Amino acid sequence: MKDTQRVIFVIVSLLGMLLLWQLIVWTADLPAFVLPSPGNVARRFMQILEDGSLLRHLGVTLFEVLLGLSLGLILATLTGYLLAKSRPVERFLAPYIVASQSVPMVAVAPLLVIWLGPGLLSKVLIAALIVFFPVLINTIVGVRAVPEDLYALMRSLQATRWQILRHLEVPAAMPVFLGGLRVGATLAVIGAVVGEFVGADRGLGFLINVGRGMYDTALVFVAVFVLVALALALYGLVVALENHLLAWQRRETKDG
Amino acid sequence: MTLSKNEPILSVKDLQVTFSDANGDLQVLNPLSFTVERQEFVGVLGPSGCGKSTLLRVLGGLLAPTDGEVLFRGEALQGPRRGVGFVFQNANLMPWRTVFANIALPLELQGAPDSEIAPRVHELIELVGLQGFADWLPRDLSGGMAQRVAIARALVHDPDVLLLDEPFGALDALTREQMGAELLRIAIDARGNARNGSRMERKTIIMVTHAIDEAVYLADRVLVLGPRPATIRLDVSVDLPRPREESLRYTPHFGALAQHLRVAIG
Ligand SMILES: Nc1ncnc2c1ncn2[C@@H]1O[C@H](COP(=O)(O)OP(=O)(O)OP(=O)(O)O)[C@@H](O)[C@H]1O
Ligand SMILES: [Mg+2]
């Protein structure tokens, strides 16, 4: 009941936005290269969907995002665990990690493209670097928050290092870790697109560049909408993962 | 291992624990010596912060003594041992595991096959009276139910020593008395469960508590620790008959023992 209501709300508000958009186009009488009408955008969308170029560019960006997210995730989780468990490692690495956060990734992206070339690698690395920090922080916070008494319990049961990791640290840190992943997943999309802006010959970011260069504003709109859809889909996947893994945490509230 | 029936299961000699940190040294346990016999129920009373939990952690092998020695079955204690069950001050359950999975944890860690785990866990669930709650999560349990799960978990791998750190401290007075009586039924009187007749051998129990009447009602012997750094102020035998009946609480002898302890604690 609640769910269908929510869906209806979303549909109504989307339709409202489209109507508003169309009204602005009509009343302001703007040229299509400033503000294309919804119809224009929809036609452009169908066009590049049919000639296959949209899916090709989407595939490239998706691939970069997934690789970058995975790489960032793996590096951040491993480093975060080490930092959480070892004071010396923390003292040694913390200054660099904090400093690296004050460097805007957008400014570093051109360097990475110069060093690694305009291909896949630079995009993956930029995405990975952007994902790294929030996941790292959440991994540290999650592992540090594991209750001392549960460690004592595991030790009293003579659990091995591996058993403590698997049966205590991973599940206990999971809620905070997934919070980091949720942020990281959307950041990975931004990272890949930033990389494509700087230098690329394919991908949705490249498509936006092309559209801008040719005053094909409808194309820019299409690429932006597809990017939003991509980010939302990734976010939704993480939320679904949370619902699955953290069912023990979810309180069924009577009033939704 | 050769162990004569009469050899103490635990013997503590000149045990000393000092915590050192940036602010200096904190001596928690002054030289302490005592022994615990097989199947004895020892209650430990003492003022707050005197080192009761610290003592229990040493006995469980979770904390190495600064000085002195602890012999477990005649051998120097080095780290946690098999055959010891721990119950912590709070129930200390894993919130992501169901009642069943929490109780199963010790067996899982020992690598027992599922076919062995399931019947054993259900036996324990019945023993502590939680039939029908196997699939519940800790967040949905009352304090008393959670503590039952903790006790079942401590018993599931059939240890012969139980270390209990104020296991009923967080419960209301009525529930606490009830849980105490159940603990005796399960671990001391070994009357088993009426329904399936399961029996366990009588346990050796060391239980920290802050309730004098609880110590008298449950234990064979009560150690009273002084303020930090703790020494043993009093070591009293509780010569009340077993199985302990509820009515014992209201006898003059019970009252006199409680009074004696009360005075010793100061
Ligand atoms: N790991 C530790 N490092 C430093 N000090 C500690 C540590 N563990 C305990 N202490 C200190 O040692 C003293 C005794 O602590 P302990 O927990 O054993 O007391 P307790 O008798 O169990 O107290 P309570 O009745 O409150 O449970 C306290 O002052 C405590 O702050
Ligand atoms: Mg304590």
**Which residues from B are below 8 Å from A when comparing CB atoms?**
57, 60-62, 79-82, 84, 86, 88, 90, 92, 94-97, 105-106, 108-109, 137, 139
Q: Which two tokens stand for residue B265?
A: 């604690």
Please count the other Cβ atoms lying within 10 Å of the Cβ belonging to residue B227.
Answer: 15
Residue A107 confidence (pLDDT): 87
pTM of the full predicted structure? 0.87
Q: Are the C-beta atoms of residues A84 and A139 closer than 8 Å to each other?
A: yes
CB proximity list for B150: less than 8 A, separation 6 or greater: B87, B88, B91, B92, B93, B167
- DSSP-derived pairing of the beta strands B10-21 and B67-72: antiparallel
User: What number is the average pLDDT over the span A216-245?
Assistant: 94
Domain of residue A150, CATH code: 1.10.3720.10
- Chain B nearest C-alpha distance from A138 (Å): 19
Q: Which residue has the higher pLDDT, A31 or B266?
A: A31
Pocket of ligand 1 (CB under 6 A): B 19, 26, 28, 46, 48-54, 228
Secondary structure class of B45 (helix, strand, coil):
strand
Each residue of B104-160: pLDDT tens digit?
999 999 999 999 999 999 999 998 889 999 999 999 999 999 999 999 999 999 998
**What token pair was written down for A35?**
């503000």
Cβ-proximal residues to A159 (8 Å cutoff; 6+ apart), any chain: A167, A168, B109
- Where is average pLDDT lowest: A21-30, A175-184, A185-194? A21-30
Predicted confidence at residue B265, as pLDDT, reads 84
pLDDT of amino acid B98: 96
pLDDT tens readout for residues B179-232: 898 899 888 886 655 445 556 788 999 999 989 999 999 999 999 998 888 889
How do the domains of chain B map onto residue ranges?
89-158+177-202
Residue of A95, A96, A183, A175 lying closest to A141 (CA atoms): A175
Determine, yes or no, domain membership for A237.
yes
pLDDT at A256: 36
Percentage of residues of chain A with pLDDT beyond 90:
75
Q: H or E segment at B147?
A: helix B143-155
Tell whether A185 is covered by a domain.
yes
For residues B81-91, average pLDDT: 90
Which pLDDT belongs to residue B182?
Answer: 87
CATH 3.40.50.300 fits B89-158+177-202, yes or no: yes
Whole-angstrom Cα distance, residue A103 to residue A111? Answer: 12
Evaluate the CA torsion angle B214, B216, B218, B222 in order and state its sign: positive
Q: State residue B83's pLDDT score.
A: 87
Tens digits of residue pLDDT in B25-39: 898 998 999 999 999
Range of the domain at A86: 66-255
Structural domains counted in chain A: 1
Q: What is the pLDDT of residue B1?
A: 47
